[in-house]
Amino acid sequence: MILSDKDIKNRIQENNLEFISEKYDIFQQIGPASLDFRLGYDFKFYDKTCVDVIDPRKSLDEKNIKIVSLEEGEDLIVHPGQFILGTTFETIGLPDDIVARCEGRSSLGRLGLIIHSTAGFVDPGFKGKITLEITNINEIPIKLHPGMRVGQFAFHLLSSKCVENYANRKSSKYMNQNNVQESKIFDDNY
């Protein structure tokens, strides 16, 4: 079951779903069956001039990851074919009986902007900012403005509370992330 606008609002007011924004009225971001999120100010990208291949079994040297932190009023241009990591402006915290799906906005998809490549699922018990996997599949550059609405969360109610939530799993790599987080797949047991 997907939560309706009424259920989302009630859960936030009852502190049974966290959605924290330091700047925006979160209740104005609630849609009929989703909650809009905004683009944060920080981005990371892999420097293709220094890296010949990315091996998921190995950590990438930090010097090969470029960090861009924008100020209020600054924009970021995503070039055709470019892949960057961004983050949500808001922090989300899920209880043990809800999962969230991260979806891009249709209006941006029509421009050729993808905000998540594969990681659109947020586990019960997760808390933090969501790292966005942003790609421009258009042939024209796209300008992004921090603070703009770029996506939405749809919340799904589980059939029962999970036994072990994301926060309690030993293999959880991204709990409490407060900024853009590059892949930690190298921590997986192969």
Give the chain's domains with CATH numbers: 5-183 (2.70.40.10)
| 3 state DSSP class of 63 | helix
End-to-end, the C-alpha distance of the chain in Å comes to 35
Predicted confidence at residue 188, as pLDDT, reads: 73
Among candidate residues 137, 149, 142, the one with its CA nearest the CA of residue 76: 142
Residue 53, pLDDT > 90, answer no
Predicted confidence at residue 111, as pLDDT, reads: 96
Stated length of the chain: 190
Structure tokens at 33: 């069956």
3-state percent helix, strand, coil for the chain, nearest multiple of 5: 15, 35, 55
Residue 190, pLDDT > 70, answer no
Helices (H) and strands (E) in the chain, counts: 2, 14
**HEC sequence for 14-25:** CCCCEEECCCCC
For residue range 102-144, list pLDDT tens digits in order. Answer: 999 999 999 999 999 887 899 999 999 999 999 999 999 999 9
For residue range 79-108, list pLDDT tens digits in order. Answer: 999 999 999 999 999 999 999 999 999 999
Residue 49, pLDDT > 90, answer no
Instruction: Give catalytic residue positions.
Output: 133
Predicted confidence at residue 168, as pLDDT, reads: 83
